[in-house]
Structure 1
């Protein structure tokens, strides 16, 4: 996906994630106040100034939350089982970030590809 010079200066994690996913087919989409990376239409990871959002799945959730710098992802005051928030300290090195990306890829690789829903024509009165 083409990248903009301005998005990398705002969030340097974008270039790091692009490098971690090099050689894979992925897309980027603005979501959750940041940028999410999707594989086969399924959300993999997301980044914002608050840290990294990692999709790990329900089976790996408890072990992922127990890792250093990780906590349960909350949205609107609700816990999001299967998603983990990782503080910036938890992705400081290439190996740290790669470990989280690999964990997300392991789960998202089990999901069927999503197809974009057909746009529904608006009815006119």
Structure 2
């Protein structure tokens, strides 16, 4: 499955030091931490993260953040897609990965 390789490499770097499993899904390459989806690099270079559903409203206010749509339907609360142009800086990408890891720690009880 095709995915943005540069973004995937940057996600790998942001998750370095953690036990990560990579799986092809969601039209890209998905990174799982503690057996839970954390982030996905898709074919257009967009980043999808799994986040705290209670934070979605605030997170959607960030530049380039959108509610993801799969097969014409909005995904459930707890997912955000970030436009490729808005994750060009490592600082911004890392902040989104941190959001995903914070929620991952909550749902797994394992922390980061």
Under TM normalisation by the shorter chain, which class is it? 0.7 to 0.9
| TM, length-normalised to structure 2 | 0.87
Extract structure 1 runs of 4+ deviating beyond 3 A: none
**What RMSD in Å do the two structures reach over aligned CA positions?**
1.7
Which protein has the larger Cα radius of gyration, Structure 1 or Structure 2?
1
Q: How does 1:1-125 map to 2 (within 5 A)?
A: 11-50=5-44, 51-80=46-75, 81-112=77-108
- Name structure 2 gaps, 5 residues minimum: none
Aligned residues: 106
| TM, length-normalised to structure 1 | 0.79
